[in-house]
Amino acid sequence: MKMSDYRRQHPLMILITFLNQLKSWLVPLLIWFLLQMQLGESTELNIGFFIVPLIFSVLAAIYSAFNWFFYRYNLSDDALNIKSGILIKKRRYIKRARIQTTNQEAGLILRIFNLTSLKVETAGSKQETEAYLAALKLAEATRIQTYLSDQTKAEKTDEPDYKTVVALSFKVLLLAGVTSGGIGVIFSIVGVLFSQALAFIPEAWIERLYDSVLAMSVLIIVLIIMVVFIFSWGLSIIRYLIRFAFFKIETHEDEIIITRGLIVKRTFRLKAHRIQAISIIEGILREPFKLATIECDVAGGSEYEPKFNVTLMPILKRHQIDAFLTRLLPQYALNFSLEPLPKRALKRYLFRSFIPYLLLLPLYLYEPLSLIILFTMPIALYLGYLRYQNGGVYYDDICMVLRTRRLAKQTHIALKKHIQTIGFTQNPLQRYRTLATLNFTVLSTPSHQTFALKDLDLSAIKSSQQWFQHSG
């Protein structure tokens, strides 16, 4: 079959579309069912409860089959062409020159049948994928990716020459999972689920549990908290391993190919010249061991990850960063010495760390037991000092570097040609001390990404603006 012939996807697309239709219907039904329980109304199942889902399932199955039949694609000399629509016919032409990334993603069902899905993204697609092929054979998906990434040849017959940059072992990924700090996410999820579950637990059970907790000794309560903490930490490690299992980076000409995932296998294909900024992140658990994560912001395309960026390297030693960037993105492998924040900015960083305790003053007066929170003040003040100490800026003829800190220390590197805007903000207190907040913006998914450094000397900010105004 020629590349110009229209093709249909694998028939498994029918099942995938059907399951997606059911998923969109089951959530409202579950909410309705829980509301009925909450209001105390009868939840007795009647014949209508079964007929409505059955009718919807039949309609969803028919729609899925027709959608597969009418959804076709082909590759022309300069575009990916898609025909779709059952009653309303749609035609979409995506020019190869406009395509930014093509990403493969294979869930458990697709991997059982040795299939994958393919997302095609352009600079204007933002949060929605420009084209999505839900079920393709691996060879077919790779053929489409290779064809769309080659801007010079109408057809590619040879296998692309992939060069492996790095492949992480299980031992390294386990270390990354242990130090990822993802336990906070697990605690948040557990907290939300627990708060929602309380509404459905009888009050008598809650009172009995409360009395049992009061009867326990402090040691037992501490042990329970430790067990919950260790369990949550274990879940965060497993979650991390599932997400980054089989992590591998390959390069082919101007492309960076990142493959990862145990249950859902994802393949990101990024054009190196579309990377707008690099972030070196040293988490609070990783910094003592001189470990870091490297992420990047990419112009164009839809959502890559929850924070709209791509993890270039989950974990590596700090002294290995230069060598890694030299192999993958040599233009970001820079030697720089940051200009530190002025000494008069230290008081502002310490004061910002103190503000939350000041706002809690009414709580201290109302509930004296809450004074125990004050024991965390030295930690907060030390974190404020670290934010001041780690802050800094650097720029030369080709790039700008900002180093900031919240909990994790973050070093953001952007090439001068990729910076869209640069500016500063200044509140009255900063104006009194001739300080200001420096910020610069780069193109990113879904639109822009802004990096900021607080309380930099005003003269340094004006100097950076003059640097940006000149072509260099």
- How confident is the model over 424-435, as pLDDT tens digits? 999 998 998 999
CB 78 within 8 A of CB 96: yes
What percentage of the chain reaches a pLDDT higher than 70? 78
pLDDT of residue 341: 94
Return all residues near 432 (Cβ < 8 A) that are at least 6 apart: none
CB 332 within 8 A of CB 273: no
DSSP state string for 112-156: HTTEEEEEEEETT-TTS-SEEEEEEEHHHHHHHHHHHH-SS-S--
- How confident is the model over 177-233, as pLDDT tens digits? 888 877 666 656 666 566 555 566 666 766 666 666 666 666 776 777 788 778 878
pLDDT of residue 156: 45
The number of beta carbons lying within 10 Å of the beta carbon of residue 336 is 16
Mean of pLDDT over the chain: 81
Q: Apex CA 121: angle with CA 15 and CA 326, to 5°?
A: 120
Token pair 């910002």: residue? 352
Q: Is 152 exposed, middle or buried (0-12, 13-18, 19+ CB in 10 A)?
A: exposed
Largest CA distance in the chain: 79
H/E element, 165: strand 163-167
Query: Which of residues 58 and 280 earns the better pLDDT score?
Result: 280
Per-residue pLDDT for 472 more than 90? no
Per-residue pLDDT for 324 more than 50? yes
Per-residue pLDDT for 306 more than 80? no
Per-residue pLDDT for 391 more than 90? yes
- Phi, psi angle pair for 271, to nearest 5°: -85, 125
- Phi, psi angle pair for 441, to nearest 5°: -125, 140
Return all residues near 360 (Cβ < 8 A) that are at least 6 apart: 370, 373
Lowest-pLDDT choice from 28-32, 119-123, 375-379: 28-32
Per-residue pLDDT for 137 more than 70? yes
H/E element, 445: none
First-to-last alpha carbon distance for the chain, in angstroms, is 53
CA-to-CA distance for 431 and 435, rounded, in angstroms? 6
Judged by DSSP in three states, 439 sits in: strand
